[in-house]
């Protein structure tokens, strides 16, 4: 059988407008990353268009009755980007800036991430454009349940398994699991991960993403000859990912010298007291006003802070062509998804900054989500030590494989991770063939 050649360009009229490069935003960044890896995919490149089109996009209206009796409508999404290697898997984001472009990009990165660390999932993502801080607990629950019912037609333990992301947590997962189960008529704990332990959640899941950032951070630092003890670390975003990663780095003797969140930026050259900062955030919702640090008013100064390691752990497209020149870190660990634009990637590469890309650095969360899903299916639960050991081993192996390929092919860790992942996804696609 002869191998058909790669079409040089798919005719423009067959590309839905929302899939276009010109459609700026995170999806454009994702498409650019796929374009960059395509020349490395050999004969599998003929399938690459698969990665540039989500398999399924669902947009839902989420109406709720507010506490004051008025009716509010929110726009929700669930995108199943690819299911060649297994069910869709990816978080749900509640944030006022959620767009379809963002959810599509995040779903594409999930496909790449799950393949990069070789867990048997495709990629998916969901979200609602809402500031959850403006809702009462009752309103939040009603919105979560209605959204779950609306996307219930495409999710399921063997179809697509949501998890927490920005603005969602284990309580939201509990409501999602309960709503789906009520609609099905039986308890389906495997429909979401990141659940409370009492509902089939996994030990170690809450910390897993931050722990994964720390594990790959230690590995990458040792390759650079950088000691963690005494290393100066700055962190953008101090939530589930950034807060836990910062604590683990501080426990290992690093100095957390700067933290930025949605409200403010705090710095302390001798190192912040991470536990005290965490307590302040729990009490006030932000790093703003933390007594144990100086506050800087110009947010952009965060990027120029003197440090060895930078952990972006907030939102996408934070490191851009505008601020990449100012970054002084030797090592960047992408806790967030898509924090670096392709232009900034090039600038940092030229400056000799090592970037451990999101699809490896923050894969600890989905890895322990996978462990949770397996435990739910077998109704047999592992110890936290066992989970952390397996997580650490899997993250180290994933980084080592990507590192070796990056050396062999003389490409960045991001390109190497995309080569490993896209090859796995497209091999599965090719082996399965097209139906009908
Ligand atoms: P979170 O909601 O727990 O925390 C988000 C943090 O980012 C908060 O500290 C918030 O103040 C800060 N933030 C929000 N907007 C900001 C802005 N404009 N500038 C600076 N800081 C800002 O969210 P999380 O779960 O920690 O997720 C953070 C990132 O990590 C996201 O990109 C998410 O997709 C990614 N991620 C999360 C997980 C997970 O398991 N939670 C897994 C993989 C990747």
CATH of residue 137: 3.40.50.10860
Residue ending a domain, among 154, 188, 222, is 188
61 CB-contact burial (10 Å; exposed 0-12 / middle 13-18 / buried 19+): exposed
In a domain? residue 265: yes
Give CA–CA dist 253/226, Å, rounded. Answer: 13
Spatial distance between the Cα atoms of 111 and 232, rounded to a whole number of angstroms = 33
Q: Average the pLDDT over 272-292 and give the result.
A: 97
Distance 338 CA to ligand 1 centre (A): 11
pLDDT of residue 250: 98
Phi, psi of 131 (to 5 degrees): -90, 105
Q: pLDDT band at residue 25, thresholds of 50, 70 and 90?
A: confident
Q: Are 367 and 117 contacting, i.e. CB atoms less than 8 angstroms apart?
A: yes
**Ligand 1 atom at minimal distance to the Cα of residue 339:** 32
Task: Give the C-alpha separation, 331 to 355, whole Å.
Answer: 6
376 contact partners, CB below 8 Å, separation of at least 6: 157, 189, 190, 200
The percent of residues in the chain predicted with pLDDT above 90, rounded, is 94
Size (the chain), residues: 436
Whether residue 238 sits in one domain with residue 172: no
**pLDDT at 5 exceeding the cut of 90:** no
409: in domain: no
Same structural domain, 75 and 154 = yes
Residue whose structure tokens are 């991770």: 417
Q: Is residue 411 part of a domain?
A: no
223 in the same domain as 165: no
Q: What is the mean pLDDT of residues 188-208?
A: 97
Please state the separation of Cα 389 from the chain's center in Å.
21
How far is the centre of ligand 1, averaged over its atoms, from the C-alpha of 351 (Å)?
Answer: 27
Task: Establish if 295 belongs to a structural domain.
Answer: yes
Over 50: is that where the pLDDT of 197 sits? yes
Considering the domain architecture, whether residues 150 and 61 belong to the same structural domain is answered as: yes
CA dihedral angle for residue 11, residue 84, residue 37, residue 19, rounded to 10 degrees: 40
Structural domain includes residue 179: yes
Claim to verify: residue 231 and residue 310 sit in the same structural domain = yes
What integer pLDDT is reported at residue 385 of this predicted model? 97
Determine which residue's CA is closest to atom 23 belonging to ligand 1: 166
Domain boundary pick from 307, 322, 352: 352
Cα separation of 147 and 285, whole Å?
A: 26
Which atom of ligand 1 lies at the shortest distance from residue 338's CA? Answer: 32
Does the bond joining 206 to the residue before it have cis omega, within 30 degrees of 0? no
Using DSSP's 3-state secondary structure scheme, residue 305 falls into coil
What would the pLDDT profile of 199-251 be if each residue is shown by its tens digit? 999 999 999 999 999 999 999 999 999 999 999 999 999 999 999 999 999 99
Q: Among 119, 315, 318, say which to mutate for ligand 1: greatest number of ligand atoms within 8 Å of CB.
A: 315
The token pair that represents 315 in the structure block: 């939102």
Question: Mean pLDDT over residues 150-167, rounded?
Answer: 97
- Ligand 1 atom at shortest distance from the alpha carbon of 315: 32
Distance CA 172, CA 189 (A): 13
Protein residue with its CA nearest to atom 35 in ligand 1: 336
Does residue 11 surpass a pLDDT of 50? no
Confidence (pLDDT) at 24: 60
* Minimum CA distance residue for ligand 1 atom 30: 336
Asked whether residue 172 is domain-assigned, the answer is yes
Query: What does pLDDT average to over the chain?
Result: 94
How far away, in angstroms, is 2 Cα from ligand 1 center?
A: 47
What would the pLDDT profile of 96-153 be if each residue is shown by its tens digit?
A: 999 999 999 999 999 999 999 999 999 999 999 999 999 999 999 999 999 999 999 9
Residues 238 and 341 in one domain: yes
Q: How far is CA 63 from the centre of its chain?
A: 27
Q: Do 68 and 132 fall into the same domain? A: yes
Which of 52, 89, 113, 125 is catalytic? The answer is 125
- Among protein residues, the one with the nearest Cα to ligand 1's atom 19 is 262
Q: 342 and 213 in one domain?
A: yes
CA 367 to CA 374: how far, in whole Å?
A: 11
The stretch 62-81 carries a mean pLDDT of 98
Is the same domain home to 172 and 222? no
Tell which of 323, 352, 381 closes a domain: 352
State yes or no: pLDDT of 186 exceeds 90. Answer: yes
Residues 128 and 233 in one domain: no
Indicate which atom in ligand 1 lies nearest the CA of residue 241. Answer: 26
Is residue 45 a part of any domain in this protein? no
pLDDT at 289 > cutoff 90:
yes
Burial class (CB in 10 A: 0-12, 13-18, 19+), 311: buried
Give residue 117's domain range.
55-188
pLDDT of residue 20 exceeding 60, the answer is no
Q: What angle do CA 87, 93, 94 make, to 5 degrees?
A: 145
Residue 39 lies in a domain: no
239 CA to middle of ligand 1, Å?
Answer: 6
What is the CA(261)–ligand 1 centre distance, in A?
9
Show the tokens assigned to 331: 């090592």
The answer to whether the beta carbons of residues 72 and 382 sit under 8 Å apart is no
180 plus 220 within the same structural domain:
no
> What average pLDDT does range 275-288 have in this prediction?
97
- Beta strands (DSSP E) in 139-231 are 160-164
How many domains, the chain? Answer: 2
**Residue 4 confidence (pLDDT):** 44
The DSSP secondary structure of 34-87, one letter per residue, reads HHHHGGGSGGGGGGGGGGGS-SEEEEEEEEEE-TTS-EEEEEEEEEEEE-SSSS
Query: How confident is the model over 40-57, as pLDDT tens digits?
Result: 999 999 999 999 999 999
CA dist., res. 112 & res. 114, Å (int)? 6
What's the rounded mean pLDDT across residues 383-399? Answer: 97
Q: Which H helix or E strand runs over 425?
A: helix 413-432
Pocket of ligand 1 (CB under 6 A): 164-167, 209, 236-242, 260-262, 313-315, 335-337, 362, 365
Residue 125 among the catalytic residues: yes
Starting at the edge strand that comes first in sequence, how are the strands of the sheet with 56-65 ordered? 56-65, 71-82, 123-129, 88-95, 160-164
What's the CATH number where 279 sits? 3.40.50.720
Domain identity same for 182 and 252? no
pLDDT exceeding 70 applies to what percent of the chain?
Answer: 94
Give 30 Cα–ligand 1 centroid separation in angstroms: 19
What per-residue confidence (pLDDT) applies to 10? 45
pLDDT-derived band at 16 (thresholds 50, 70, 90) equals low
């Amino acid at each position: 059988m002869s191998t058909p050649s790669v079409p040089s360009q798919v005719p423009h009229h067959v590309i839905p407008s929302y899939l276009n490069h010109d459609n700026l935003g995170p999806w454009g960044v994702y498409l650019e990353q796929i374009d960059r890896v395509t020349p490395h995919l050999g004969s599998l490149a003929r399938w690459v268009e698969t990665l540039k089109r989500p398999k399924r996009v669902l947009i839902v209206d989420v109406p709720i009755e507010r506490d004051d009796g008025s009716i509010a409508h929110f726009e929700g999404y669930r995108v199943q980007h690819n299911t060649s290697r297994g069910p869709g898997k990816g978080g749900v984001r509640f944030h006022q800036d959620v767009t379809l472009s963002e959810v599509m990009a995040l779903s594409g990165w999930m496909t790449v991430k799950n393949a990069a660390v070789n867990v048997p999932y495709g990629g998916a993502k969901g979200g609602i454009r809402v500031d959850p801080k403006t809702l009462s607990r009752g309103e939040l629950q009603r919105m979560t349940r209605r959204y779950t019912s609306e996307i219930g037609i495409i999710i399921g333990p063997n179809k697509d398994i949501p998890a927490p992301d920005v603005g969602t947590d284990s309580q939201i997962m509990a409501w999602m699991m309960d709503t789906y189960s009520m609609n099905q008529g039986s308890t389906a704990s495997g429909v979401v991960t990141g659940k409370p332990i009492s509902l089939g959640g996994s030990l170690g899941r809450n910390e897993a993403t931050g722990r994964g950032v720390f594990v790959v951070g230690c590995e990458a630092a040792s390759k650079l000859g950088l000691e963690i003890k005494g290393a100066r670390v700055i962190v953008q975003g101090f939530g589930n990912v950034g807060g836990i990663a910062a604590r683990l780095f501080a426990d290992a003797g690093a100095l957390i010298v700067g933290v930025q969140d949605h409200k403010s930026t705090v710095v302390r050259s001798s190192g912040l007291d991470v536990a005290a900062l965490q307590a302040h955030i729990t009490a006030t919702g932000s790093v703003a006003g933390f007594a144990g640090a100086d506050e800087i008013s110009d947010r952009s100064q965060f990027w120029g802070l003197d440090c060895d390691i930078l952990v972006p752990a907030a939102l996408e497209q934070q490191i851009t062509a505008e601020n990449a020149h100012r970054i002084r870190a030797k090592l960047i660990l992408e806790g967030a998804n898509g924090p670096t634009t392709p232009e900034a990637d090039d600038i940092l590469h030229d400056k000799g900054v090592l970037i451990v890309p999101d699809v490896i650095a923050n894969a600890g969360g989905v890895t322990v989500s996978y462990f949770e899903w397996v435990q739910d299916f077998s109704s047999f639960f592992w110890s936290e030590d066992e989970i952390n050991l397996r997580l650490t081993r899997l993250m180290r192996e994933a980084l080592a494989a990507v590192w070796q390929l990056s050396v062999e092919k003389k490409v960045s860790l991001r390109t190497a991770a995309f080569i490993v992942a896209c090859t796995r996804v497209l091999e599965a696609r090719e082996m399965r063939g097209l139906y009908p």
